[in-house]
Structure 1
């Protein structure tokens, strides 16, 4: 029976969570110190909010946001352009059998949080919540 690419269970395993957090911390440190040899990237402040790792630990998807939230697509392109160097830096600092392939996505949780707050501020929603 072939292994599935994604888990069918309730969520990521403890190992996936642990590796994801190690990769997140390492990426954050590397970006903060400016270890990447790209002038466009080294001048930016980037938050790595989460890293999700595939069950086989071979792919790590990092959710990132630039400081201030402007230029999100540019940041993802710059990180993707430097993915191989970032992968080497992660491999150097995280003790894994294989360094995961790095993928980058814009973290949209802050946008969703703002939308949720906006919804809760509506009069009809507030009235429904107060009735309970």
Structure 2
């Protein structure tokens, strides 16, 4: 269970990191799309932030993640410039690939290929009788 302080810091980091990756450091992705930030989780001491990136569009996900990890220091520096008046300490950034969207697409494809027969119809149903309502008062 995250504290309010962790939630506020995670929200701030998510917004500002998205802006940093899209506006301040677009050269890291050589003309491709900047990754989306799915989730940010901050440790209780606010020393580390785990950043989960959505890398579906724009090429090989592992290659793009390595580029981001190699430039983590530059990303953290650009982030520090943006949040210097809001946060006292800029947490260490640890980047992860968030593959939940691709997993959801895979599960949707698997469920779409299943053959589920329709439920059998009951033979005892007679449509001419109305169901009786339970009596609430005697």
**TM-score greater than 0.5 by the shorter chain:** yes
Query: Structure 1, residues 41-89: CA drift from partner, whole Å, max 9, x if none?
Result: 3523111111111111111111112352631111111111111111112
Unaligned ranges ≥5, structure 2 = 120-138
Distance 1:27 1:60, change over 3 A: same
Normalised by the size of structure 2, how large is the TM-score? 0.70
Structure 1 residue runs of 5 or longer lacking an equivalent are 1-10
CA contact (8 A) 2:65 2:95 kept: yes
Deviation at 1:14, TM superposition (A): 2.2
1:58 aligns with 2:47: yes
2:14 paired with 1:16: no
Q: TM-score, normalised by structure 1?
A: 0.73
Larger radius of gyration: 2
Matches within 5 A, 1:1-132: 11-33=1-23, 35-36=24-25, 39-45=27-33, 46-66=35-55, 68=57, 70-94=59-83, 95-121=86-112, 122-124=114-116
Count of residue pairs brought into register by the alignment: 115
Question: Is the contact made by 1:44 and 1:66 (CA closer than 8 Å) also made in structure 2?
Answer: no
1:68-111 per-residue CA deviation (whole Å, 9 max, x = no partner) reads 26311111111111111111121222221211101111111102
Aligned CA RMSD, in angstroms, stands at: 2.3
Q: Which one has a larger percent helix, Structure 1 or Structure 2?
A: 1
